[in-house]
Each structure stands twice: as structure tokens, then as C-alpha cells.
């Protein structure tokens, strides 16, 4: 008797949707920036767009629902009731106290805030309140006061960045701002315990050590560097070629990297990649190969280019957007039109610091920031920081400068 497929839970749909979104964004952005170094947080960006989806209605709501791969979820309230929006943190805690308090659950923190006039909110916004674990900030009629208040919060949340983001002058249509912040605070790598035999999948705690292996079908070398706290790892993926004796060799060119990303962006490629990240597939054995990624990136991310590439350009228009009745009073409209995404990441041989911020507001100018780029590599690679417990890609990017330079530069944290 033929078995019927079990219906996916909303949590499964959401997790798969976030993963698809992550790889799709990597693929689309790399297409336009094939020789560049870049970094972004698909988790943080997805959450920012999710805030826009959950608080809006009408055409923009339907557009975002498709972009976020949530067409299988019929009701917003089911999504709000299921998804964990509560990876919050207390702002008065020090970084050390904060890391210690959350080490048992996860080694990163996520916070969402909404800036809006209190009088415009629904009389019973209890449902929508769940998605803003950072709370609401009340705006008033003074545009300058509003932008200063938002910028103060941005500066506070991104104070560890080299170039904290700052929004420019807003026009009179500034009536709402949605902000989400993600932090990975100085996560130290586990001590190296080389495991060359990666032929079998295992989730035992004593297997959480550095692993290097290859995936022949994906033509890819896979290196995993686990962090001490939680169940999160840094992965480095590099294109490889194989000969008839199954000997492999890293392919140090941009075309090979682009081809690898093309494969990963297919349906089969995504399925295989998830198995690789979860150690649920057999991988080839690699002996005596140890390569530590060392890089530092913080530069302008062309979010407008990406949103157009994923058909989310409606969010970039100045047209008024209807808000959801569970969030605001019936018939209330606001203006989006401007999206900012900023990421900082610093990886050394000892630890990683990373942060990301997404802000969705009315029309605004954003100043260009001084770029910070320092990559030590012999070949181009894709890197990503992956939460195995929740199966989320927190940060992702490409290091395309593969001239081995600045070996003695001080990148220690």
C-alpha cells in the first residue's frame, strides 16, 4: 500500500524556507558580484522581511509571502504561534554575562524592534507583540527627533562594528521603522582534534571536532570548525576536481566557485548541502589537510540589488502599505521603501565575532561607509556559520581574494 507523505509542520516549513532563502540570496548576489568579497546574514535579513510580512497586508504581504517561501502556511497567526522569536537578550548585561547566560541554549542573540506612533497600534496587538522581543519605541510628529531616536538605537546595537550604520535624513513619510539585530559574540573554536575519517555521520558530542572531507557529487571540499558554546560551526566550502583515482584538488578560480554555487542553488544541491551541514550523509576521506580561514569583512552590502534580484522590488517603492489589522488600526497605511542591511564578521584562528542589522523604513539616504576587508587565503571559498540545533544559516559570504597576503597582520581578538 502506498504511503502518503506526512504533512509538514509549520516549524519544518519555516526552517526549510529560511534555508532556501539563504542559498537563493547567496546565488543571486554572487551572480552580480562574482569577483568580490562579501558577507551578509540571511537569518537576520529573513527576519527583517518577515517582520514586514507579518505587519503588512494586501499586495506587499502576498509578495513577501512568496519571497519568504511561506505559501504553504495559510494563516499568519499559526506562524506567529509556532516560530521562536524569543532569542532575546537584556541590554544592560555585559557581553561576558550575556554569553554565559545563553551558552546552554544558543551562542547567538537576536532582537527585533518596531518604531511607530503608539496611537496607530491595534487596541489588542497581543499576537503581533510576540515578534518584537525588543519592544516598541513611540515616534512623534518631529521627524528629526524620530531619526535621532532610531539612530541612537542603531548605534547602541552596532557599537562593536567598525562603522556603525547611520540613516540619513528622512522625509515626511517616515512613519514606521522595523529593526532586527543579530549578534554572535566572540565564540571560541574547539581545540583542534583532527578527524580525517568523515565517512560516517555522527551526532555524538565527542565527534564535535574539526573535520575535513569532500563531497564528490557536489565537487566540493568541506571543512567544519565547531564553536565551544552551543551547537554552531563555521563551514568552509571550496570547489574541487577529482581524477580517476579519486584524488582531489582545490580549484583556485572564480569560475569554479560560481559553478559550485550554481549547483548548490538547485533543489538537489540544497538537499545535499543540508545533509552535509547536518552530517547526515557519507563524505569522502581527507588525510592531513588543515586550513584555517582567517578574514575580516565589513563593507556596504547592496541590499537594493539583492531585493530586485529576488523579485522583492515592491518593498523598495514609496507607495503606501496597508498594515495588518492585528498590528495597527483598520485602514492605517505606512511607507516602507528603504531597506538597509549591514554585517560585520571577524574570523581568526581562535574565535569569531559577527553581527548583522536590518532596518526597514520610509525613504532615506544612507551614507557610504569605509570598507574593512582583510582576507588570508590561497583559494576562493564560501563560508557560513550554521546553527545545527535550529538548522539555520546565521551568516554567509564569499572570500574571493585568494592572494596569500598580510600573513603577519594582527587579527587576533
Is pLDDT of 15 > 70?
Answer: yes
pLDDT above 90 coverage of the chain, percent: 38
The DSSP bridge partners found for residue 318 are none
Contact predicate 248/274, CB 8 Å: no
pLDDT at residue 362, rounded to an integer: 81
Domains 10-179+299-343 and 188-294+376-399 share a fold: no
Contact predicate 376/385, CB 8 Å: no
Is pLDDT of 408 > 50?
Answer: no
Contact predicate 306/25, CB 8 Å: yes
Between CA 385 and CA 396 the distance in angstroms is 6
pLDDT, average across residues 266-278 = 95
pLDDT at residue 159, rounded to an integer: 79
The cell for 26 is 547567496
pLDDT at residue 97, rounded to an integer: 42
Q: Measured at the alpha carbon of residue 257, what is the angle toward residues 256 and 260, in degrees to the nearest 5?
A: 85
Compare 326 and 356 and report the one with higher pLDDT.
356
pLDDT at residue 94, rounded to an integer: 39
Between CA 217 and CA 170 the distance in angstroms is 50
Q: Using pLDDT thresholds of 50, 70 and 90, give the confidence band for residue 2.
A: very low
Instruction: For 153-185, write each residue's pLDDT tens digit.
Output: 888 888 778 877 776 655 555 788 999 999 988
pLDDT at residue 283, rounded to an integer: 85
pLDDT above 70 coverage of the chain, percent: 81
Listed in order, strand segments (DSSP E) in 132-219 are 136-138, 167-170, 176-188, 211-215
Compare 34 and 201 and report the one with higher pLDDT.
34
pLDDT at residue 34, rounded to an integer: 87
Provide CB contacts within 8 A for 351, sequence distance 6+: 186, 187, 188, 189, 413
Q: Using pLDDT thresholds of 50, 70 and 90, give the confidence band for residue 198.
A: very low
Instruction: For 43-74, write each residue's pLDDT tens digit.
Output: 999 999 999 999 999 999 999 999 999 999 98
Instruction: For 362-377, write each residue's pLDDT tens digit.
Output: 866 566 667 888 888 8
Query: Spelled out in words, what is the top-level CATH class assigned to the domain 188-294+376-399?
Result: mainly beta
pLDDT at residue 47, rounded to an integer: 94
Is pLDDT of 129 > 50?
Answer: yes
pLDDT at residue 69, rounded to an integer: 96
Between CA 401 and CA 404 the distance in angstroms is 8
Between CA 249 and CA 234 the distance in angstroms is 21
Is pLDDT of 206 > 50?
Answer: no
Of 178, 87, 108, 160, residue with least CA distance to 344: 160
Does the pTM of the predicted model rise above 0.85? yes
Instruction: For 80-120, write each residue's pLDDT tens digit.
Output: 888 776 654 333 333 444 444 433 345 788 889 999 888 88
Query: Spelled out in words, what is the top-level CATH class assigned to the domain 10-179+299-343?
Result: alpha beta
Beta strand 248-250 pairing with 232-242: antiparallel
Domain ranges of the chain: 10-179+299-343, 188-294+376-399
Is pLDDT of 342 > 80?
Answer: yes
pLDDT, average across residues 348-372 = 82
pLDDT at residue 407, rounded to an integer: 35
pLDDT at residue 212, rounded to an integer: 85
Amino acid at each position: 500500500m502506498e504511503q502518503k507523505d506526512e504533512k509538514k509542520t509549520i516549524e519544518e516549513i519555516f526552517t526549510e524556507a529560511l534555508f532556501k532563502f539563504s542559498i537563493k540570496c547567496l546565488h543571486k548576489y554572487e551572480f552580480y558580484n562574482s569577483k568580490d568579497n562579501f558577507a551578509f546574514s540571511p537569518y537576520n535579513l529573513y527576519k527583517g522581511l518577515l517582520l514586514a510580512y507579518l505587519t503588512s497586508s494586501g499586495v506587499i504581504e502576498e509578495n513577501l509571502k512568496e519571497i519568504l517561501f511561506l505559501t504553504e502556511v495559510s494563516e499568519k497567526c499559526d506562524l506567529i504561534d509556532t516560530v521562536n522569536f524569543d532569542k532575546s537578550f537584556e541590554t544592560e548585561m555585559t557581553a561576558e554575562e550575556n554569553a554565559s547566560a545563553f551558552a546552554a541554549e544558543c551562542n547567538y542573540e537576536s532582537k527585533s524592534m518596531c518604531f511607530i506612533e503608539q496611537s496607530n497600534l491595534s487596541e489588542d496587538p497581543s499576537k503581533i507583540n510576540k515578534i518584537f522581543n525588543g519592544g516598541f519605541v513611540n515616534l512623534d510628529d518631529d521627524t528629526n527627533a524620530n531619526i535621532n531616536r532610531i539612530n541612537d538605537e542603531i548605534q547602541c546595537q552596532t557599537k562593536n562594528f567598525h562603522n556603525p550604520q547611520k540613516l540619513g535624513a528622512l522625509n515626511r513619510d517616515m512613519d514606521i521603522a522595523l529593526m532586527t539585530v543579530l549578534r554572535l559574540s566572540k565564540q571560541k573554536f574547539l581545540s583542534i582534534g583532527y578527524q580525517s575519517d568523515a565517512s560516517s555521520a555522527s551526532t555524538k558530542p565527542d565527534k564535535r571536532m574539526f573535520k575535513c572531507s569532500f563531497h564528490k557529487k557536489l565537487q566540493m571540499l568541506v571543512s567544519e570548525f565547531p564553536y565551544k558554546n552551543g551547537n554552531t560551526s563555521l563551514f568552509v566550502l571550496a570547489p574541487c576536481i577529482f581524477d580517476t583515482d579519486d584524488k582531489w584538488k582545490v580549484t583556485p578560480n572564480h569560475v569554479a566557485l560560481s559553478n559550485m554555487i550554481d549547483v548548490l542553488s538547485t533543489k538537489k544541491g540544497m538537499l545535499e548541502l543540508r545533509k552535509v551541514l547536518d552530517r547526515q550523509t557519507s563524505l569522502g576521506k581527507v588525510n592531513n589537510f588543515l586550513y584555517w580561514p582567517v578574514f575580516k569583512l565589513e563593507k556596504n552590502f547592496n541590499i537594493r540589488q539583492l531585493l530586485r534580484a529576488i523579485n522583492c522590488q515592491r518593498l523598495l517603492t514609496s507607495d503606501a502599505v496597508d498594515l495588518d489589522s492585528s498590528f495597527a488600526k483598520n485602514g492605517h497605511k505606512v511607507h516602507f521603501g528603504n531597506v538597509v542591511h549591514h554585517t560585520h564578521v571577524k574570523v581568526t584562528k581562535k574565535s569569531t565575532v559577527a553581527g548583522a542589522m536590518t532596518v526597514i523604513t520610509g525613504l532615506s539616504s544612507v551614507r557610504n561607509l569605509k570598507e574593512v576587508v582583510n582576507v588570508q587565503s590561497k583559494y576562493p571559498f564560501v563560508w557560513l556559520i550554521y546553527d545545527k540545533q535550529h538548522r539555520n544559516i546565521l551568516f554567509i559570504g564569499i572570500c574571493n581574494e585568494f592572494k596569500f597576503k598580510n600573513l603577519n597582520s594582527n587579527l587576533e581578538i
